[in-house]
Chains A and B, each alone.
Chain A
Amino acid sequence: AQRVTQPEKLLSVFKGAPVELKCNYSYSGSPELFWYVQYSRQRLQLLLRHISRESIKGFTADLNKGETSFHLKKPFAQEEDSAMYYCADTGFQKLVFGTGTRLLVSP
């Protein structure tokens, strides 16, 4: 069964510090990985998908098949990045989420 692991429940950094939110997957097929973000009192929204290889709001994520990881990175965190971040893998039709990491960026 596909599984997505986000080992950190909370990541607290100061403004301007680098950020890395970890995500590991275990789907044996070809993974289709996404990062979703949920700002306070808002709906979840797509941040990144691995197939696009894009940078959104300064965030990037690279698929590492050898390490089965899709870590989310940003070189300089901003206060407005504070939110809940979920890694997800589509697998076959279903979309399975990790347990999420709350990022808190302090001034």
Chain B
Amino acid sequence: NAGVTQTPKFRVLKTGQSMTLLCAQDMNHEYMYWYRQDPGMGLRLIHYSVGEGTTAKGEVPDGYNVSRLKKQNFLLGLESAAPSQTSVYFCASRPAGSNSPLHFGNGTRLTVT
């Protein structure tokens, strides 16, 4: 049982390049989330999904897109990377129900130059 797996672990992009971050979970969780972690800002929710085929915006969705074509995968896309998107990105999942805790991936460190 691998839990939540994020790929890649590190990436350096140039401004304007695009990339996709992959999050995979093997716990059959309904809900999946993408957060970014920045010093002094804590964790901010980018997008989330409450089921296969559904996505919703979080606090800071601009510049990102997501897709949940399969229940176990939640993809985060950057169409045209900007230096302001330099951050550590965390994916998380949890079962449906508000009392269930999040299970986090190890994070992806993205640098945009």
Is B truly associated with A?
Answer: yes
Tell me the A residues contacting B by CB distance below 8 Å: 6, 9, 32, 34, 36, 43-46, 49, 51, 86, 88, 90-100
Which chain A residues lie closer than 8 Å to B33 at the CB level? 94-95
Asked whether, in the complex, the Cβ of A95 is within 8 Å of the Cβ of B42, the reply is no
Q: What number of A-B contacts does a CB cutoff of 8 Å give?
A: 57
Secondary structure of the A contact surface, majority rule: loop
Asked whether, in the complex, the Cβ of B106 is within 8 Å of the Cβ of A43, the reply is yes
Asked whether, in the complex, the Cβ of B101 is within 8 Å of the Cβ of A100, the reply is no
CB pairs A–B below 8 angstroms (17 shown): A6-B42, A32-B98, A34-B101, A34-B102, A44-B43, A44-B102, A46-B101, A86-B42, A86-B43, A90-B98, A92-B98, A93-B98, A94-B33, A94-B58, A96-B59, A97-B35, A100-B42
Most buried by A among B59, B98, B99: B98
